[in-house]
Amino acid sequence: MLTSGNGASPAAVPLWASKAGIQLRQVESLVNDNLSLLTNRVRTLQERRETLVTSLRRAAADLRTHGRAPAETVRTELEEFHREWESLVADLETHELEPPADLEEAAARVDEVQRQSRTESALEALEGLDRICGDDGELTPAAMEIRSAAESVRAGVTNEEFPDTSAIEALQTGRHPLVMLRRLLEEEEALSDDDWEEAVESIRNQFGRGVATAVVRRRLTIAPESGSADGDG
């Protein structure tokens, strides 16, 4: 069964998922745009497998007891399941990875792609906050506090054993205080009055009045990636 990633006990990383340098990027490139569809296909196959198992057991019992051959519908179900399974295997197979051996491994691959996609999306939301500084380029106390918070959140997001799923969701949906802070710095003019007030309140609740004031009064900025923003010259 597909896992949700919300509090489930982590399983041992299978060999196919731990090969150095692969990290399922090939699979992700195939399914990233249709991840929900692929997830539904796996779940549907899992459900149909259970139905098929029941049908086959009944057919076997009928054959054993009455000597009757399985109904045509059973063979049709089996053939349809096989075709859908082969199609799913083809979509999950890459040059570097063997095709999934069974539905459990197929589901695990989709889960892994989802996990990586969520993690990458969350990390993108934090982009640039490690370069935040005062408007004069100096590393102010407010900037240091934000950098430290961003680094802490980043560590939780990238924790492979126990990722911070609540932070990942908040970063993805834009509800995290750090995302709101970044939006105020980068696109304040595009925010509605309600969004602006919500962002300021979120920052004030998370970091206190000092940081919120520094953001609102434009005393902070995100330095260019190629520039030096640490104030050390």
158 and 92 part of one domain: no
Mark which of 74, 93, 116 sits at the end of a domain: 116
176 and 96 part of one domain: no
Domain that holds residue 55: 15-116
Helix (H) or strand (E) holding 132: strand 132-134
* 39 touches 5 (CB < 8 A): no
230 located within any domain: no
Whole-number pLDDT of residue 215: 93
DSSP-derived 3-state class of residue 128: coil
User: Has this prediction a pTM greater than 0.75?
Assistant: no
Mean pLDDT per 10-residue interval, the chain, length 233 residues: 40 40 44 67 87 89 85 88 85 65 81 83 91 92 95 93 91 92 90 92 94 93 70 45
90 located within any domain: yes
| Greatest C-alpha distance within the chain | 89
Mark which of 75, 98, 116 sits at the end of a domain: 116
Whole-number pLDDT of residue 204: 94
Number of domains forming the structure of the chain: 2
Mark which of 116, 144, 166 sits at the end of a domain: 116
53 and 140 part of one domain: no
Of the candidates 151, 149, 145, the one whose C-alpha atom is nearest the C-alpha of residue 210 is 145
Give one word for 128, left, alpha or beta, with left for phi > 0 and alpha for psi -120 to 50.
Answer: left
Of the candidates 105, 121, 129, 116, the one whose C-alpha atom is nearest the C-alpha of residue 183 is 129
168 located within any domain: yes
**């304040």: which residue's tokens?**
188
